A and B are shown apart, each in its own frame.
Chain A
């Protein structure tokens, strides 16, 4: 593949990474709050804007990442390798970041790294791609970062997906932290958040 085939990354890498990180930090610190992306970098399909923001601001040569088969092609692996230097990891159990369609949540969550008792930080971050966030249904969230309760309804989470997230929160302080990446915005459910399913 020629360099000219590559899609550009952030237009102002230092600034764009800083403002993107602040949104991701804010989302993780306030679970269930949907945050608009402050910058949009060119998106190689079928990734989406928030997934690209997360990748360009957090990945580098120290962070093996995994892409679900549906998101995987030479162009995307080339794009992420060129802009971040991060190695593609074919085995998602070994990945520090896993990118996948939200429909795969239940399957992927089973085997992502949850850290160890002494190093709960040695866990994976899940980046679940969603079409957007709905107004009803979803889950009610409580816990650190939430004043009373936040409702979140990422489009496309299956009942088995919610069950996987409930199991994940029981593992605390071990567990996976989830970023829901949309075309214009993102939201997070870290392992510290407790979930109750809402009627759709």
Chain B
């Protein structure tokens, strides 16, 4: 099956990738699922967009997509950023699939930097775009060495690094890409999501797949798999919190972004998950910012 683009009259294979590349990625995905948290190397191919745009996630999505899928794409929690819109349009064009902004309507969600606030369900797959898949890379630049460390489960360096954080700052200062241990075996980079989202990965009902385009690695967390954020007995893992609720919808449990509202520099905190915020507003919830504006 080919999908003909209306604008250029060019023909692509369904979901852009050729079948041989899809098969290779599909086989890597099965290994990734069978060995949770282990990074499977794959021979990725060049995509018609630069690496920073999430080519790893796009290749994973293209390899698992079927025509009945409903795709949602988010970037920093929002469906309407340039990156999210471009990826959504790309798949509409090359696969002719339906898209949505509503988390609960999606069968497939590709994300950069956030996990939706709405709990994911068994029928869903979450695909993460990953820039640097190796959690030990900033401690040990040599791939041969990090591979050995994973093989021998030698993760002492990672704990030393986190403990140095505590010595210097009085707490673990890492707030993004906070390392996790998967299925009590592999240490994994959860991609640059805020540590606020780490607990959502633990025993999540949806299948979670991770694609790193530049380094050509695929890894996975099957449903209901233990994902534990690294910590110490005297310094337990904690998520970020805010002193105020979302200014627009009043939610005090979601991840908030600080935004500048006008040229006077008025600032407020709003939900980073735009679909979550919009559905709360549709249900009639209001935040302090809305009340003040009335």
Q: Decide if B239 is an interface residue (CB 8 Å cutoff).
A: no
B67 — nearest CB in chain A belongs to which residue?
A15
Min CB distance B205 to A, Å, is: 8
Bound form: Cα–Cα A50–B223 in Å: 23
Are the C-beta atoms of B224 and A144 separated by less than 8 Å? Answer: yes
State which of A15, A118, A121 has its C-beta within 8 Å of the C-beta of B148.
A118
| Residue B264 lies at the interface, judged by CB distance under 8 Å to chain A | no
Contacts of A58 in B (CB 8 A): 23, 26-27, 30
- Set B24, B28, B222: member contacting A121, Cβ < 8 A: B28
Given contacts A22-B66, A60-B23, contact A147 B223 (CB under 8 A): yes
Stretch at the interface among B35-43, B79-87, B271-279: B35-43
B160 at the interface (CB under 8 A from A): no
The number of A-B residue pairs with CB atoms under 8 Å apart is 110
Q: How far is the CB of B26 from chain A (nearest CB, A)?
A: 5
Contact with B along A121-136 (1 / 0, CB 8 A): 1010100000000000
Taking A28-B30, A118-B148 as contacts, is the C-beta distance between A145 and B223 under 8 angstroms? Answer: yes
B31 CB to nearest chain A CB (Å): 4
Contact assessment for B30 and A118 in the assembled complex, using a CB-CB cutoff below 8 Å: no
- Would A28 and B33 count as touching, CB distance under 8 A? yes
Q: Which residues of A contact B38 (CB under 8 A)?
A: 120-121, 173
Range, interface on chain B: 35 or more
Q: Which residue of B lies closest to A123 (CB)?
A: B31
A6 contacts partner chain B, Cβ-Cβ < 8 Å: no
> Closest B-chain residue to A96, C-beta based?
B27
A118 to B142, CA, bound (A): 14
A7 interface contact, C-beta 8 A: no
Which of A17, A29, A119 is the one whose CB lies under 8 Å from B207?
Answer: A29
- Check A190/B34 contact, CB under 8 A, given A25-B26, A145-B224: yes
Q: B14 an interface residue at 8 Å Cβ cutoff?
A: yes
Interface residues contributed by chain A, number (CB under 8 Å): 39
Interchain CA distance A117-B144 in the complex, whole Å: 12
Docked-complex contact B64 and A191, CB < 8 angstroms: no
A177 to B34: give the CA distance in the assembly, Å: 7
Please indicate the chain A residues that have their CB under 8 angstroms from the CB of B66 in the complex: 15, 18-19, 22
Chain A CB within 8 A of B65 CB: yes
Q: Is A2 an interface residue (CB 8 A)?
A: no
Bound together, the chains give a CA A26 to CA B124 distance in angstroms of 10
Please indicate the chain B residues that have their CB under 8 angstroms from the CB of A21 in the complex: 26, 63-64
CB contact list, A1-41 vs B, under 8 A: 12-15, 17-19, 21-22, 24-26, 28-30
Question: Is B89 close to A, CB under 8 A?
Answer: no
**Chain B 126-141 against A: per-residue CB contact (8 Å), 1 yes, 0 no?**
0000000000000000
The answer, yes or no, to whether B283 is at the interface (CB within 8 Å) is no
CA distance A177 to B222 in the complex (A): 14
- A120 with B35: CB separation less than 8 A: yes
- Chain B min CB distance to A17 (Å): 7
User: Is B185 an interface residue, CB under 8 A from the partner?
Assistant: yes
Q: Which of A43-64 contact B (CB under 8 A)?
A: 57-60, 62-63
A14-B13, A18-B65 are known contacts. Are A25 and B30 too (CB-CB below 8 A)?
A: yes
Judge whether B152 is part of the interface by a CB distance below 8 angstroms.
Answer: yes
Asked whether A57 lies within 8 Å of B26 as measured between CB atoms, the reply is yes
The 8 A CB mask of A102-121 against B (1 = contact, 0 = none) is: 00000000000000011111
Complex CA–CA separation, A144 to B208 (angstroms): 12
Minimum CB–CB distance from B203 to chain A (whole Å) comes to 8
B20 close to A60 (CB less than 8 A): yes
Known: A21-B64, A121-B40. A192 touches B34 (CB 8 A): yes
The answer to the question of B238 belonging to the interface, with a C-beta cut-off of 8 Å to chain A, is no
A160 at the interface (CB under 8 A from B): no
- Measuring CB to CB, which residues of chain A are less than 8 angstroms from any residue of chain B? 12-15, 17-19, 21-22, 24-26, 28-30, 57-60, 62-63, 117-121, 123, 125, 143-147, 172-173, 177, 190-192
Not counting A15-B66, A18-B65, a sample of 5 additional A-B residue pairs whose C-beta atoms are within 8 angstroms of each other reads: A17-B19, A21-B64, A121-B40, A144-B223, A172-B185
What are 11 pairs between A and B in contact, CB < 8 Å?
A13-B19, A15-B66, A17-B22, A18-B67, A58-B27, A121-B28, A143-B183, A144-B36, A144-B225, A145-B33, A192-B183
Q: What residues of chain B have their CB less than 8 Å away from a CB belonging to chain A? A: 1, 13-15, 19-20, 22-24, 26-36, 38, 40-41, 63-67, 147-148, 150-152, 183, 185-186, 205, 207, 220-225
The 6 closest A-B pairs by CB, nearest first: A190-B34, A145-B222, A117-B151, A121-B31, A144-B225, A144-B222
